[in-house]
Structure 1
Amino acid sequence: MNYPDFSSLNTKLTCKDYTVSEEFFQLKYWDEYDMLVTYPQPKLDELDSYYESEDYISHTDSKATLVDKIYQSVKRIMLNKKLEIVSSFNQNKGSLLDVGAGTGDFLNAAKNDGWSISGVEPNSKARSLANQKKILLVEDINQLPTQKYDVITLWHVLEHVPNLFEYIETLKSLLKENGILIIAVPNYKSYDATYYKEFWAAYDVPRHLWHFSPKGIKKLFAQFNFKLENTFPMTYDAYYVSLLSEKYKNSSFQKLKALKTGFLSNLKAKHSGEYSSLIYCFKTI
């Protein structure tokens, strides 16, 4: 599989990095997979610099601001939901690999639930916080011991990885036969994405390199012999992303507007299936 010349693709939007650099990036439409691609993509040795911010909350356990508190509260609620989804595919609670494990909360919950856990997290600060919870993470997926896993999870991680095709190949090589790959990513076809346009916080350029749609991600993984088994909505994301988007717009009455937009997004998604974020459960075939 080959990548197209991204510079030649049509530009859908131009978005600003509100978190770190205040630089602008284009979102190019890759029609083959109905996805958007951040352009230009930072070089591999430059990527880390775009994560160097106290505002990048998934690498912290911060509860300093209202947005922090909402994020941490939703994270706690979602831990049980994630475990329910994982266990629905594997009642025996075998081996689980979490890629992009952040500060280790999901793996900690999975360990307490009886799973044999492993994890990957590139950010040293997040790994340190996980270590304080006695969750030991490796920095790179290539540092994992030689073994295969019953379940691999990526909670809002796939959109961050460079060399997308190669990474999916690596994930597949780490799964057991009939293994389950669970991926949560934002959906740029959602109502809140359409409403906020270039201000939509889940574009999060340039940290998010790829922007998926349900149709596109199913086609993409079929190319690697994965079958989509089930899809689950992440309804809280519509509210959290809307709140951040209102902040980026510097609008008045941000909380009320975010609440309204998040509610509308979830309401419309009940009919369309286009939730702000979706969890995709794939099985190797």
Structure 2
Amino acid sequence: MKSYLKTKDFSVSQEPFELLYDEALEMLVTNPKPKDLNPYYDSEVYISHTDAKVSLVDRLYQNVKQYSLKKKIQLIDNQDIKSKKLLDFGAGTGDFLAKANLRGFNGEGIEPNEKARANAAKKGIHLFQNIEALKEKSYDVITLWHVLEHLPDLDKQVEKIASLLDDKGIVVVAVPNYKSYDARYYGEHWAAYDVPRHLWHFSKTSISRLFERHAMEVVSIRPMLFDSFYVSLLSEKYKGNKLYLINAFFVGLWSNMKACFSKEYSSLIYVIKKKK
């Protein structure tokens, strides 16, 4: 694989990494892959495993998250599914599951991080540590909200997800899009590369080809409009820009405006079904 970009872990270790281009999948691969990723998540600044509202970025993230949770559940409600048996893969602190269950879903979740599971338990949400704990189960909806990019053994994980999905069910995947304008604009500072926690970096072609290997197909793609602003905010901070709020707003806005034509939004949601 050819080198695509050199970057580093801006948020935790400051270690250098390289992104390699996988031509077969049109996907970027983080190199090297640390043997133990846990230390890279074991940080107070890794917001997905906490409910922190300390900094301005934290507060913005949490406020946008509440709005996004409603939109995510609406998206699933609008799908033609048999029942409301749901699995949230990489459930974090359990907020999506809590909202989904209030809307009548019968939700379960997987979260490998102990700190995140503990935070979810405080909300009355029990999460399994890994996919193996599910044994023989079947779900109508399986969601991966910014999770697929974290999973080691990617093909094996997708194969397992397919085996847990009902024949008429849906998989909903949200991932960053390295072909977006904000990714190109920020280059090595693009916060959504988030190496080495993000092991894989997807394009629309990547997702289609990856799931086609497991007899599944993308049936619709939706934008995540707020992601361009949040990612731009972090990217500006990584660049050391003191005017990060102003710059991030305009870059995020311009990224969404350009994506109205290119359809290459900062993050995309894919609705995926088994092939008939």
TM-score by length of 1: 0.95
Q: 1:183 aligned to 2:173?
A: yes
C-alpha RMSD of matched pairs (Å): 0.9
The equivalent residue for 1:35 is 27
- Assess if the C-alpha contact under 8 Å between 1:93 and 1:114 holds in 2: no
Q: 1:266 aligned to 2:256?
A: yes
Q: 1:235 aligned to 2:225?
A: yes
Q: Percent identity?
A: 52
Match runs of 1:129-208 below 5 Å: 129-208=119-198
Alignment deviations for residues 137-191 of structure 1 (CA, whole Å, 9 cap, x no partner): 0111111142100000000000000000000001001001121000000000000
Alignment deviations for residues 179-208 of structure 1 (CA, whole Å, 9 cap, x no partner): 100000000000000000000000000000
Between the aligned partners of 1:90 and 1:24, the Cα distance in structure 2 is 45
The equivalent residue for 2:241 is 251
Between the aligned partners of 1:26 and 1:240, the Cα distance in structure 2 is 23
Between the aligned partners of 2:209 and 2:112, the Cα distance in structure 1 is 28
The equivalent residue for 2:272 is 282
Which of 1, 8, 18 is 1:16 aligned to? 8
Q: Secondary structure at the match of 1:143?
A: helix
Between the aligned partners of 1:90 and 1:139, the Cα distance in structure 2 is 29
- The amino acid that maps onto 1:21 is S
Q: 1:83 aligned to 2:82?
A: no
Between the aligned partners of 1:94 and 1:102, the Cα distance in structure 2 is 20
Between the aligned partners of 2:80 and 2:108, the Cα distance in structure 1 is 16
- The amino acid that maps onto 1:178 is K
Between the aligned partners of 1:265 and 1:241, the Cα distance in structure 2 is 11
Change (3 A) 1:91 1:36: closer
Q: Secondary structure at the match of 2:229?
A: helix
1:42 offset after TM fit, Å? 1.2
Between the aligned partners of 1:159 and 1:200, the Cα distance in structure 2 is 15
TM-score by length of 2: 0.98
Q: Secondary structure at the match of 2:78?
A: helix
- The amino acid that maps onto 1:63 is K
1:252 offset after TM fit, Å? 3.0
Q: Which runs of 5+ in 1 are unaligned?
A: 1-8
Q: Which runs of 5+ in 2 are unaligned?
A: none
- The amino acid that maps onto 2:184 is T
- Assess if the C-alpha contact under 8 Å between 1:87 and 1:93 holds in 2: no
